[in-house]
Amino acid sequence: MDLRGKTILVTGAARRVGRAIALELASAGARLLVHHSASDSEAAETCEAIRKLGSQADAFRADLREYGQILGLFEQIDRQGPVHALVNSAAVMLPGDLLSVSETDWHTTIDLNLKAAFFVLQQAARRIRQAGGGVIINLADIAGMQPMARFPVHSISKAGVLSLTRVAALALAPDIRVNAVVPGPVLKPDTMTDARWRSFGQSLPLQRTGTAGDVARSVRFLLENDFITGEALLVDGGNQFIPS
């Protein structure tokens, strides 16, 4: 896909990795639909940064855990014109103990990371097909391949995102390609010290941690390469080779 002039929805695009993805795609000439849940000022800053790159951007607020708000989001988007691609980036990563996970804990993660990813993909795919075809990229996580005991529900949710990617790639071919980007250590957790983060990076085969930009460039690659579908591209510095 040539990204110039294409309209791309990026969920969770106001901050962190989502923001980096939006800016990378804007640099390729795409028009961005910047979704956020409650980050009004940060979404406005992201849109302004996109416009400075010479691309168009509009911000949309919705709590994707609520199915009705997903429908409302796309009703707003429909007034903006066709959609050519989706990057499913919105997610939450909460620690917990398997035996202590409550139903509320479960829904906090699953409803955003997996349920929302499914129904946003569903709504976007209908519109992408109407526009003549396009691409969907899901943001997974290394935890979906290497389960993390400290993040049990997150690990389960991201394993589901990987399965969603494969199912959708089969169901939506040939006019819509669906792939996943699987980040490893690219952003330091708030609870981790700088020293521990550096030490962890040095333990990787590439001996360093990654950046949000590494993920963003991988998303762009999968959007642009028209002969890849159903793929899960690891962006993890070799973290998959280290026992969990």
For 32-57, give the DSSP string.
Answer: EEEEESS-HHHHHHHHHHHHHTT--E
Instruction: Output the CA–CA distances (angstroms, integers) from residue 167 to 21, 45, 122, 162, 188, in the order listed.
Output: 24, 35, 12, 9, 31
Q: At what angle do helices 16-27 and 212-224 cross, to 10 degrees?
A: 50
- Nearest Cα to 181, choosing from 226, 241, 237, 234? 234
Distance CA 221, CA 163 (A): 21
- Tens of pLDDT, residue by residue over 114-165, are 999 999 999 999 999 999 999 999 999 999 999 999 999 999 999 999 999 9
pLDDT of the residue at 92? 96
Question: pTM to 2 decimals?
Answer: 0.96
Side-chain-side CA neighbours of residue 55 (13 Å): 26
| CATH 3.40.50.970 for domain 7-235 | no
- Nearest Cα to 46, choosing from 25, 27, 20? 20
Cβ 113 vs Cβ 154: under 8 Å: yes
CA angle 90, 234, 66 (to 5 degrees): 15
- Tens of pLDDT, residue by residue over 156-170, are 999 999 999 999 999
State whether residue 110 is helix, strand or coil: helix
Q: What percent of the chain has pLDDT over 90?
A: 95
Q: Show the tokens assigned to 147.
A: 């389960």
240 pLDDT band, cuts 50/70/90, is confident
Cβ 136 vs Cβ 121: under 8 Å: yes
Q: Are strands 57-61 and 85-88 parallel, antiparallel or unpaired?
A: unpaired
- Tens of pLDDT, residue by residue over 170-214, are 999 999 999 999 999 999 887 789 999 999 899 999 999 999 999
How confident is the prediction for the chain on average, in pLDDT? 96
pLDDT of the residue at 244? 60
Distance CA 103, CA 226 (A): 41
Q: What percent of the chain has pLDDT over 70?
A: 99
Mean pLDDT along residues 223-237: 97
Distance CA 29, CA 23 (A): 10
Mean pLDDT along residues 54-76: 98
Distance CA 25, CA 2 (A): 11
Instruction: Output the CA–CA distances (angstroms, integers) from residue 189 to 193, 239, 241, in the order listed.
Output: 8, 16, 21
Q: Show the tokens assigned to 110.
A: 């699953």
